[in-house]
Amino acid sequence: MPLPAHSRQPADRAGLNWFSTLDGQGLLAAEYPIGSLVLAGCPALPWAWIGVAAAEPPPNDSRRGLLLHRRDEGFSGAVRCGLPLPLASESMGALLVQHALDDGLAVEETLGECERVLAPGGTLWLTALNPWSPYRMRWAGEGLRARHPGAWQAALRRAGFAFDSVSLQWLGPRWRAAHGDGGIGAGDRLRAGIALTVNKRVRALIPPSPLRKLRWQTGHLRPSEPVRREPAIMDP
């Protein structure tokens, strides 16, 4: 399969190795149970996980999951590939992309592939670094790119996902690596990571038929006009 050839950045791809440090592991540990919950709610379809090498993939007891790690400019694991992904269109019930795009490589192309391979109603769970968190000082200078949530939402919309179906959650520590958790409150917006969950919109199988105006067929009367009766004339 061809490797991604677009959106190349001068930053070293080894920047993703930051997640193998104690600071990076503190963030990944907070995300692990959330990813497992996403899979628990997906339909009985195959699913795929694409994450950094330091992340622990969710359990694959069902053997329905495809596990891929980011390696240089491609992916390795069950298969070694690049983009486009070697998956049939609309074949996946869920996709989990865990920080695999935090170095800025092929973001648009990868999200477009996610939209292609997801079945209608399928779920994409995407985690990324939070640029507003004070935790950013721990990955500064590592060659990582943290996009704000609005930029991710715009990228998802360009990939074909419905804007109104995106939900956002903040995960991980605010400063100390051992204090990871998650939430959606105002105080959670300083956490180290963000998670965006979006469902692929189900296409209507039968388009709605346009309503047609009905005409009265009895003379020229309209429904709002009363029927006027002439008085009967009696013969003398």
CATH numeric code, 13-199 = 3.40.50.150
pLDDT tens, residue order, the chain (236 aa): 334 433 344 333 568 999 999 999 999 999 998 888 888 887 688 999 999 999 998 887 767 899 999 988 899 998 999 999 999 999 999 999 999 999 998 999 999 999 999 999 999 999 999 999 999 999 999 999 999 999 999 999 999 998 788 999 999 998 887 666 666 677 789 999 999 999 998 765 555 555 454 444 444 445 555 555 555 555 54
* Domain ranges (residues) in the chain: 13-199
Are 190 and 132 in contact by the 8 Å Cβ rule? The answer is yes
Q: pTM score, two decimals? A: 0.78
Q: Three-state SS string across the chain, please?
A: CCCCCCCCCCCCHHHHHHHHCHHHHHHHHHHHHHHHHHHHCCCCCCEEEEECCCCCCCCCCCCCEEEEEEECCEEEECCCECCCCCCCCCCEEEEEEECCCCCCCCHHHHHHHHHHHEEEEEEEEEEEECCCCHHHHHCCCCCCCCCCHHHHHHHHHHHCCCHHHCEEEEECCCCCCCCCCEECCHHHHHCCEEEEEEECCCCCCCCCCCCCCCCCCCCCCCCCCCCCCCCCCCCC
